[in-house]
Amino acid sequence: MGLVVQKFGGTSVAGPERLKAVARRLVAAREQGHEVVGVLSAMGKATDDLIALAHEVSPEPAARELDMLLSVGERISCALAAMAVHDLGHRAISLTGSQAGIVTDAAHGSAKILEVRAERIHKALARGEIVLVAGFQGVSTQREVTTLGRGGSDATAVALAAAVGADVCEIYTDVEGVFTADPRLVPGARKLDAVSYEEMLELSASGAKVLMLRSVEFARNHGVRIHVRSAFSEAEGTWIVSQEELMEQPIISGIALDTSEAEATILAVPDRPGIAARVFRALADAGVNVDMIVQNVSAAGHTDISFTLPKADTARAEKILAPLADEIGAGGFAHDPDVAKISLVGAGMRTHPGVAADMFDALAEAGINIRIISTSPIRISCVVLAADAERAVQAVHERFRLHEPLVTAEG
């Protein structure tokens, strides 16, 4: 019939009964005639528990040893699932990331996949075995165990799907697909039948937790069709495909909320060339990732430069920018962690005027002030106070009537 990669997240493998349910899904696909590769995450909160254990032993665990420790969780899931498959009368083999041929760079904790040497997987499939691969991990070009960062099992699954030529990469999670907004914030949010790679990239980068950003990038670059589905039902999920495969182009596909960023400001910067370059070069050299940037020039000739960055990097940024502010004659450095970013995403806004105005109207009518605005051809993002974030999502969702059947762009 074809080759399918099925990835199961931590909630899907959280205990023995759920692992048995995963085994039944894998076997069902095999009995339908498919060759099957399964990618499993660690059970439930196992990774968090291992991180906590490491910090009980060491306040700053060595990155190499932390990767060695964290790689254990996915191996446990795979071995247990293989046992359950055997009990159902089918053959299975569990493989670590390195055994599966997943080669990465040497960045411990956030390694990137360089290539997949899938010979061992192909041989196991040719023997009629279900192949279970530990997600979230690989082996570096220096032969060290590496991990891929949060959500890394998604990247493992998509990379394997590309390497083995899978017909589809099924991502099984605890939700039934991609919704117009987080259903926990907007109970009337509607499940989407399909989303383009570009829209999913924007949603993932803007805070949607359904898929790891790098996995969507990999899928787009290698033409891997992703099917996001629930591990706990047979409901049809959401397809992530190329724009050309979509029958209709929505004006708006969804709204994402990101509460992981803080707002930082260099106050009263002297108005002369090169200041912004010095500020952001210093942050880049320190590995601080900056998202949205706005620069305001006052009548007095001074400039405030505001930007967003991960909350986890705020202390590091302050150590760099507080002395730099003094050096360049600025008024100082300030930061506010109590902000959130809401993003409206839709391929149809390229050719549909008024989307930004409607979004801003909705926020204004809800009494919500916008602090920073950023756009791309298919995304509009606004930074608001964290206390207003949920109301902001609900107001924008209602304004664009995203709970109703799909509205498509003209032409």
Q: What is the rounded distance in angstroms from the CA atom of residue 7 to the CA atom of residue 170?
A: 6
Distance of alpha carbon 280 from alpha carbon 278, whole angstroms:
6
Compute the distance between CA of residue 310 and CA of residue 313 in angstroms, rounded to an integer.
5
Query: What's the confidence (pLDDT) of residue 35?
Result: 97
Q: Which CATH class is domain 2-174?
A: alpha beta
> Taking a C-beta distance cutoff of 8 angstroms, is the pair 316, 256 a contact?
no
Reading the chain (411 residues) residue by residue, the pLDDT tens digits are: 699 999 999 999 999 999 999 999 999 999 999 999 999 999 999 999 999 999 999 999 999 999 999 999 999 999 999 999 999 999 999 999 999 999 999 999 999 999 999 999 999 999 999 999 999 999 999 999 999 998 899 999 999 999 999 999 999 998 899 999 999 999 999 999 999 999 999 999 999 988 999 999 999 999 999 999 999 988 899 999 998 888 777 789 999 999 999 999 988 887 778 888 999 999 999 989 999 999 887 666 678 889 999 998 999 999 998 898 888 888 888 899 999 999 999 998 988 889 999 999 999 999 999 999 999 999 999 999 999 999 999 999 999 999 987 655 444
250: which residues sit within 8 A by CB, 6+ positions away?
Answer: 346, 347, 348, 406, 407, 408, 409
* Lateral strand order in the sheet of 302-310: 293-297, 302-310, 261-270, 332-336
Ordered by start, the domain boundaries in the chain are 2-174
Which residue from 68, 74, 126 is spatially nearest to 96, judged by alpha carbons?
Answer: 74
Q: How many helices (H) and strands (E) does the chain have?
A: 11, 20
Beta bridge partners of 187: none
Angle between helices 197-205 and 213-222 (to 10 degrees): 160
- Residue 365: C-alpha distances to residues 361, 368, 385, 396 (Å): 6, 8, 16, 10
